[in-house]
């Protein structure tokens, strides 16, 4: 349910409405917008039946939220969510580029990659300390040591860190090191993990599962939002189709659809979507043109020697070319890079 406030509603009146809702055992979320300010109410709406909310000073009207994903919907928040991470703003006019190796290999290579990406204009550094792998015998990541290496790369370059958490037992540990916590495609509907990162104090980049519908993605975001974390970034990373020419199919359609349905920032993952480094540039450009707020790419100074996912990892030289072209495209769609 959404409580639409009158234009001149005072802060004292807002506080009074919020406290009344809380006394009924519901969760209120206040959102001040340019056109209108609202209070979103999460919980059992039936508790409001015997309480005439519209009679309270400052209330203009009460509206139901029709979408199953309440807090992620445009009904709940008409404006865009802009997420502040250090000195960077995600979801604003700047097109955000997160880049780095699939996995943290060692300190020397991580810092070398981080320096190269920083020089070439990356906004954030990615790297997996915990790696979800199809085979139990494949490299699973360096764990805590990988997080420590990422922290050192951040100290050296100033780049914020985006890294994945796979287990509810590791959320607190990853939160200590990460600037953005990533939920990978295989955990899109791991609801216990989503609840746990919902209680975290760091932004969450939520990847779409390869067999997940857009509504299911938004319902997964709802788990995070409803548990208190309002800083969620949605990431289209490719879905399974009948096509075999690429690893997955990058659903460009999802970008404008999500932009219409939700106020949350939208990214794409061209590396995992295509599975081939030769397609990463074109799909990055398409993502920017379609309205995405950013991309997350795999990059390495020597992709052929990368421990994991080398075939879809671009070189630093190619990354530099991608950034230059993004910079030329961005003004045409009202963006900067």
pLDDT per residue over 201-221, tens digit each?
999 999 999 999 999 999 999
Q: Are 188 and 232 in contact (CB under 8 A)?
A: no
Which pLDDT score is estimated for 276? 97
CATH code of residue 91: 3.20.20.70
* Residues 33 and 107 placed together within one structural domain of the fold: no
* Residues 142 and 224 placed together within one structural domain of the fold: yes
Q: How far apart are CA 30 and CA 10, in angstroms?
A: 13
* Residues 36 and 183 placed together within one structural domain of the fold: no
* Residues 142 and 175 placed together within one structural domain of the fold: yes
Q: Which domain holds residue 216?
A: 83-333
pLDDT at 37 over 90: no
What pTM does this model have?
0.90
Q: How far apart are CA 337 and CA 132, in angstroms?
A: 30
76 in any annotated domain: no
Which pLDDT score is estimated for 156? 97
Predicted confidence band of residue 182 (pLDDT cuts 50, 70, 90): very high
Q: pLDDT: is 159 or 133 the higher one?
A: 159
**Which distant-in-sequence residues (6+ apart) come within 8 Å of 15 by Cβ?**
none
* Residues 110 and 58 placed together within one structural domain of the fold: no
72 in any annotated domain: no
Q: Are 81 and 263 in contact (CB under 8 A)?
A: yes
Predicted confidence band of residue 138 (pLDDT cuts 50, 70, 90): low
Q: How far apart are CA 221 and CA 194, in angstroms?
A: 8
pLDDT at 331 over 80: yes
Q: What is the largest CA-CA distance in the chain?
A: 67
* Residues 13 and 140 placed together within one structural domain of the fold: no
CA 153 from centre of chain: 22
First to last CA, the chain: 37
* Residues 114 and 260 placed together within one structural domain of the fold: yes
41 in any annotated domain: yes
**Which distant-in-sequence residues (6+ apart) come within 8 Å of 47 by Cβ?**
24, 25, 26
- Domain count for the chain: 2
**Which distant-in-sequence residues (6+ apart) come within 8 Å of 297 by Cβ?**
97, 98, 99, 126, 269, 270, 271, 280, 284, 314, 319, 322
Predicted confidence band of residue 318 (pLDDT cuts 50, 70, 90): very high
* Residues 49 and 192 placed together within one structural domain of the fold: no
3-state secondary structure of 130: coil
Please give the share of the chain, as a percent, with pLDDT higher than 70.
97
* Residues 22 and 98 placed together within one structural domain of the fold: no
Q: Which of 33, 63, 93 is the last residue of a domain?
A: 63
75 in any annotated domain: no
Which pLDDT score is estimated for 137? 59
Which pLDDT score is estimated for 61? 87
* Residues 57 and 187 placed together within one structural domain of the fold: no
């Amino acid at each position: 349910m959404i409580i639409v406030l009158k234009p001149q509603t005072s802060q004292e009146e807002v506080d009074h409405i919020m406290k009344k809702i809380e006394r009924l055992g519901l969760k209120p979320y206040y959102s001040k917008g340019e056109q209108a300010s609202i209070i979103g109410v999460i919980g059992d709406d039936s508790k409001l039946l015997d309480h005439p909310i519209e009679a309270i000073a400052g209330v203009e009207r009460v509206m139901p939220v029709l979408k199953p994903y309440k807090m992620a919907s445009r009904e709940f928040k008409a404006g865009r969510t802009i997420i502040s991470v250090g000195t960077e703003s995600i979801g604003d006019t700047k097109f955000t580029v997160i880049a780095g190796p699939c996995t943290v290999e060692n300190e020397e290579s991580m810092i070398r990659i981080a320096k190269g990406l920083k020089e070439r204009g990356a906004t954030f550094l990615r790297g997996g300390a915990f790696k979800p792998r199809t085979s139990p015998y494949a490299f699973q990541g360096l764990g805590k040591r990988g997080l420590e290496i990422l922290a050192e790369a951040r100290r050296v370059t100033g780049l914020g860190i985006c890294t994945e958490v796979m287990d509810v037992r590791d959320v607190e540990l990853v939160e200590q090191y990460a600037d953005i916590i990533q939920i990978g495609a295989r955990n899109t509907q791991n609801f216990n993990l989503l609840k746990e990162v919902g209680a975290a104090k760091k932004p969450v980049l939520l990847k779409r599962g390869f067999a997940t519908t857009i509504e299911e993605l938004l319902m997964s975001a709802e788990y995070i939002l409803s548990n208190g974390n309002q800083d969620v970034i949605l990431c289209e990373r490719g879905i399974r189709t009948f096509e075999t020419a690429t690893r997955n199919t990058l659903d460009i359609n999802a970008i404008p659809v999500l932009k219409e349905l939700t106020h949350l920032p939208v990214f794409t993952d061209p590396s995992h979507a295509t599975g081939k480094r030769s397609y990463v540039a074109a799909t990055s450009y398409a993502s920017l043109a379609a309205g995405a707020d950013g991309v997350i790419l795999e990059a390495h100074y020597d992709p052929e020697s990368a421990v994991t996912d080398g075939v879809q990892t671009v070189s630093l030289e190619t990354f530099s070319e991608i950034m230059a072209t993004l910079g030329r495209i961005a003004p045409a769609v009202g963006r900067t890079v």
